[in-house]
Chains A and B, each alone.
Chain A
Amino acid sequence: MTLRSKQGPQGGPASGKWADADLPTRREFLRRFGTGLLVWVVLRDTAGAEESEAAHPVKVRPKPEGDFNAFLSIGEDGHVTCFTGKIEMGQGPVTSLPQMLAEELDVSMDDVSIVMGDTELCPFDQGTWGSMTTSVFGKVWRAAAAEARAVLMDLAAASLQVPVSQLTARDGVVTDSKDATRKVTYGQLTQGRRIERRVSVNSDLKAPGQFRVIGKPLLRRDSRDKVTGKAKYAGDMRLPGMLYASILRPPASGATLRSADTSAARKIDGVVVVEQPGLVAVLHELPDVAADALGKVKAEFEPSPSRLDDKTIYAHLQKAEVEPRISTQGGDISTGAARAVRRHDATYLGGYVAHAAMETHAALAHVEGGKATVWASTQNPFGAREEIANELGLPIPSVRVITPFVGGGFGGKSFNLQAVEAARLSKATGRPVQVMWTREEEFFNDTFRPASVINIKSGLDADGRIAFWDYEVRFAGDRASERLYDIPDHRTLAVGGFSGPPGIHPFQVGAWRAPGSSNNAFARESHVDQLASIAGIDPIEFRLRQLKDARMERVLKAAAEKWGWTPGKSPSRRGLGIACGADAGSYVAAIAEVGVEPKSGIITVKRVLWVQEMGLVINPAGAKIQMEGGITMGLGYALSEEMHFKDGVLRETNFDTYGLPRFSQVPRIETVILDAGDSPSYGGGEPAIILTGAVIANAVHDATGVRLLELPMSPDRVLAAIAAKA
């Protein structure tokens, strides 16, 4: 995806009729720059380790290639073009990354163009996930700009014959601070020169007090393309002679193909059929004709071996024998339990949840002459490149993956099956092939957020404090499971990691926006709320008395103050809930007001306040959009989204049955970003979803006295819980 600034050179990949119009190799691209300044920056070892260690299950974790991570160039016209392997899927780096460069380089945002997710032009990247674009990658990115600025200042010092310390830079112009008439532009400095710098990250970044661009709320830079239909997604790419593929899928997860009779489909004019092991596809120059032709294929399948359904899955996960890993522990559980005067144990459940990005997986592949070029909707272009190379038996550099705009990912576009399918079909047919999954295929092939079970044993001591905390998370991983509270005798066990051993789940599972965090926050914060209720203490007061982290305390207090919280013991019948947590280095607290309709079991969320402290914020406008988006998306897993299934067959295959949040369900939302002084940046996109389930569950309890222990809190579960209490 290339987003040109207003003042940048026009034309190029985005402007051609065909996807491959003006598709330069890196070599051609650099030659085209001719003279100018090119800066490569090498990621420090520590930052690299930070990024690769982030728990993110992917099929292929791409191996770093080359030795640089950020790359930018300044042309003779002073125009900056920057290159990153990160991708834009709505989360906003198309704005925030140029914003960082504009700051460190002292150029106008209008002078920065960005190229994202093209494995040929952009430096290697692990993948866009884990809320790390700003928090981890941002440091390298800013360092590249700082290095470029340092080079330019040296050149300016020589040009103007004054020391660097006497120079100031603004909007791409360097001025002698003692004589404002003496100035030189970045373009003039690089004219006729070709300067290449390759540096390790060690640069002096600007301090927050010096910021002119970072921290300023900026509107998205891709809006104009997106409101006019110009923005291209993988399914919008076209090549001459291309075919559209419809792929045969099994009726159930785990079902295998016994036989396929494609004779009727082959009779349709223009249809091409590919039958390979694990891949039967019908192709045509028109996608709808291909889809109709697939309907004529008669196939028989061996049934799925799975005998699980959405009710029995929890007993299956609960009894699965997997060695637990101790995540944290301190003191001694039995000592704490002996001190407890009130015990409270509970089990929290969460079902499978789909990613359901509005854009289904799509890819256009052109395999020709020992090379493959693939336009793919992916969060992981370098992983896709490796997967395709492995599948086709090509060397990795012979595969180029280009990522256009991605229509939502949320973790679901980290695997690249559709890109591999398109590449295989292109190789088989000798023509460019586009694969764009139907919504039904999207649900079928999704890597769901895993179903999970969380068991908590706990107790209160005589002073009304939590005496012990014995926490076992099964198959959600331990992200955001930190207990946050000062409990002397505690243990957190993680069983099976995030996705569990192979075969534990009847479907593929994968990262879903803040993997595991929403499940852990739901369990912990629901449980703490119950302990507060048992102790007869206001839930905020109860938390504040035991919080051990100053950042968390500050965020929670800010939420209470902003809301105008008046203390009350839950259930107060006001329908107010509170929850707090930490994720991706950021701290969040939420307060919600709900109403519960006792006859229908429908929960109405009326108002949500969300306070987030995420360190240095590059673009506060973009950060707020992410927070609102997280809260809104979270309503789904909290209230309505779940996969029902039996024997590998999914009941939800489209949006007629899978309940995404709708306009009429969205509450009044207030977001507050707390200033964090000189702190570094932390994650922004994921923390904003982790509390939605917990805060609504706590508000429902406050409204009704009924505690819901299973997500989503669908009307039938609300009614059942009310009936059970009565």
Chain B
Amino acid sequence: MPDTIDFNLNGQPVRVSAEAGRDLLWVLRTDLGLTGPKYGCGISQCGACTVLVDGRAIRSCSVPLKSVKGKSVVTIEGLAAEGRLHPVQEAFIAHDALQCGFCTSGMIMTACDFLRKHPKPTRDQVIAGMDDNLCRCGAHVRIVDAIMEAASAMAGRTPS
């Protein structure tokens, strides 16, 4: 018997009828049709599947569906608000901080959580914060540049 799990997905309430123990990544990609989170390794090593759960970066390949019950899940598809790209997305575009783009959604989601915790990061903090996300094309330097710029942009938008 499938379980019924309610949670908020990209700002909308959803009810999913599925086995509660299934990995969140496959429920998102298959049952819910959100293919932005990618499969890269299946064992929390690469970060391509990263989504935000209550604002925290979570490796969706390694958490069960039931763990998001009653929580708020944001995937790359839901990051732009009212048609406006998130500052991290804007900065990735401005810095050409990607090549093949396969790691990109995980990079951006990880960066969002990182910037929530470190609104005024140093470059070394960004590097440490992103170190567990893998990119094969070698966009690393640009990704760090983009996150630094996004931090500035976000600081300007919400005066502290």
Contacts and interface: CB of A to CB of B under 8 A. Distances in A.
Interface of A: 17, 89-92, 219-220, 222-233, 235-236, 238, 244, 286-289, 356-360, 405-408, 410, 436, 438-439, 621-622, 625, 628-633, 654-656, 660-664, 666, 669
B18 to A, nearest CB: 8
B30 interface: yes
A300 to B, nearest CB: 25
A223 B92 contact: yes
Contact of A625 (B31, B33, B99, B102): B99
Contacts of A230: 77
A625 B35 contact: no
Given A625-B142, A661-B138, A220 B76 contact: no
Contacts of A231: 101
Contact of B101 (A222, A655, A656): A222
A655 B77 contact: no
A663 B131 contact: yes
Nearest to B78: A229
B41 A655 contact: yes
B43 A656 contact: yes
B140 A666 contact: yes
Contacts, number: 173
Contacts of B119: none
A683 B103 CA distance: 25
Interface string B64-96: 000000000001110110000100010011101
A19 to B, nearest CB: 11
A625 B139 contact: yes
Contacts of B131: 662-664
Contact of B75 (A229, A359, A438, A625): A229
B138 A633 contact: yes
A630 to B, nearest CB: 7
B140 A358 contact: no
B108 interface: yes
B30 A287 contact: yes
B26 interface: yes
B116 interface: no
B45 A90 contact: no
Nearest to A227: B89
Contacts of B76: 227-229
B117 interface: no
A358 B139 contact: no
11 contacts: A226-B101, A227-B98, A233-B38, A244-B30, A358-B46, A407-B100, A439-B41, A625-B99, A628-B139, A629-B139, A662-B134
A359 B100 contact: yes
Given A238-B33, A629-B137, 9 more contacts: A223-B98, A227-B92, A229-B35, A236-B29, A629-B99, A631-B138, A632-B139, A655-B45, A662-B134
Give the one of B79, B85, B89, B141 with max A CB within 10 A: B141
B42 A407 contact: no
Nearest to A92: B99
